[in-house]
């Protein structure tokens, strides 16, 4: 492992005013997204859609890295240029989702553990050859009656740490993502408790497995009300609780924090991020974004309505969201900028 390179890549991913585009939907997930806008989920359409995203003019001004799915990292545009090269030429670092999905956790009804460790060392070497410089592994934690269990939190933290150690061995920056799902009627206090427990367990395991935090990025969910909670916490409360949780659980030497959007609306996700960055002058780590839906949703809808005709319009919409989130990463976003 080359420590200098790892640290430089991690720092570049959270450079001032920049964040990550999560475009690593598995074939099953992108099918759901395409279904919602009436586009058939063929390999060609997936290739075209992702080419559209990556060739957005000026995208690299606010996007430091793009997380891709295995298929995407091997695909080329209609003109025969590898999508990873298109990203690199735009100043965007190619990344790769390496987990193979969350599967039911034996003995723990309603809970999941993320798989993908078997053969990961070999896959990582291949991904490096294909141009990837960082990776993502997503664990999901469900809040519910008596959930999550300690078993679920610990099993996922352990897998995340083993993945992160393998990444660094291969010279790849690991993004560790312990996502506490928004699904459910829980309130923000419950979300806080679970998020803090998941983050503390994760950093304990990263320590046990000798993972270099200066070459690691955390991708957390925000501390937020459940999507069916009767009383939703205000933007300022979400920002304050999320920051407090991170300050309690996350070591200062970590390279950076990039949030997932997790089902928040695009404007909501941007507003929360900017409010956090405005609350405190200096956090130990840059606070930025690694949004999937909150960056893509509006662009996908327009593209899907007429892919050939709306290509450039969809790109304009993506460029706008990237710029809004770049400003939010510096605490400079105002909702009136949406007009």
Q: Is 262 in the site for ligand 13P (CB under 6 A)?
A: yes
Pick the binder of ligand 13P from 163, 203, 291, 333 (CB under 6 A): 291
Pick the binder of ligand 13P from 294, 300, 322, 328 (CB under 6 A): 294
Q: Is 96 in the site for ligand 13P (CB under 6 A)?
A: no
Q: Which span sits near ligand 13P by CB under 6 A: 163-171, 226-234, 257-265, 307-315? A: 257-265
Distance, in Å, from the CA atom of 94 to the CA atom of 308, rounded to the nearest integer, reads 26
Q: Is 19 in the site for ligand 13P (CB under 6 A)?
A: no
Residue with tokens 């298929």: 71
Q: Is 95 in the site for ligand 13P (CB under 6 A)?
A: no
Q: Is 22 in the site for ligand 13P (CB under 6 A)?
A: yes
- Rank residues 179 and 196 by Cβ distance to ligand 13P and give the closer one: 179
Residue 179 beta carbon to ligand 13P: minimum distance, rounded to whole angstroms: 6
Q: Is 131 in the site for ligand 13P (CB under 6 A)?
A: no
Among the residues of the chain, which ranges form H helices?
A: 3-13, 27-37, 43-54, 70-73, 83-89, 120-129, 150-169, 188-208, 235-249, 266-279, 293-305, 311-328
Active site residue 150: no
Q: DSSP string spanning 115-160?
A: ---TTHHHHHHHHHHTT--EEEEEEEE--BTTBS-HHHHHHHHHHH
Query: Strand pairing of 217-218 and 256-259?
Result: parallel
Residue 4 beta carbon to ligand 13P: minimum distance, rounded to whole angstroms: 27
Q: Which of 25, 111, 177, 240 is catalytic?
A: 177
Distance, in Å, from the CA atom of 332 to the CA atom of 270, rounded to the nearest integer, reads 10
Active site residue 177: yes
């Amino acid at each position: 492992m080359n420590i200098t390179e790892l640290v430089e890549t991690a720092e570049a991913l959270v450079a001032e005013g920049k964040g990550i585009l999560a475009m690593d939907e598995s074939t099953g997930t992108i099918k759901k997204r395409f279904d919602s806008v009436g586009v058939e989920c063929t390999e060609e359409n997936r290739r075209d859609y992702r080419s559209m995203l990556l060739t957005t003019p000026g995208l690299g001004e606010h996007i430091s890295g793009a997380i891709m799915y295995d298929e995407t990292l091997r695909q080329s545009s209609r003109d025969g240029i590898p999508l990873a090269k298109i990203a690199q030429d735009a100043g965007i670092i190619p990344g790769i989702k390496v987990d193979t999905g969350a599967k039911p956790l034996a003995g723990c009804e309603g809970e999941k553990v993320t798989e993908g460790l078997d053969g990961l060392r070999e896959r990582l070497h291949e991904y490096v050859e294909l141009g990837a410089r960082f990776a993502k592994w997503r664990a999901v934690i469900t809040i519910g009656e008596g959930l999550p269990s300690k078993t679920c939190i610990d099993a996922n933290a352990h897998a995340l740490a083993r993945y992160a150690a393998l990444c660094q061995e291969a010279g790849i920056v690991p993004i560790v993502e312990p996502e506490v799902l928004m699904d459910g009627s829980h309130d923000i206090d419950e979300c806080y408790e679970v998020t803090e427990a998941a983050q503390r367990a994760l950093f304990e395991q990263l320590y046990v497995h000798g993972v270099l935090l200066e070459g690691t990025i955390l991708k957390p969910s925000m501390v937020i009300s459940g999507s069916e909670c009767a009383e939703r916490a205000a933007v300022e409360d979400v920002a304050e609780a999320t920051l407090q949780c991170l300050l309690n659980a996350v070591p200062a030497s970590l390279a950076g924090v990039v949030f997932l959007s997790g089902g928040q609306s695009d404007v909501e996700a941007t507003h929360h991020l900017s409010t956090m960055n405005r609350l405190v002058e200096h956090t130990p780590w840059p606070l930025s974004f690694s949004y999937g839906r909150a960056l893509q949703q509006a662009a996908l809808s327009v593209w899907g309505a007429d892919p050939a005709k709306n290509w450039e319009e969809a790109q304009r919409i993506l460029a706008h969201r990237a710029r809004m989130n770049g400003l939010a990463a510096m605490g400079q976003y105002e909702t009136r900028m949406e007009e």
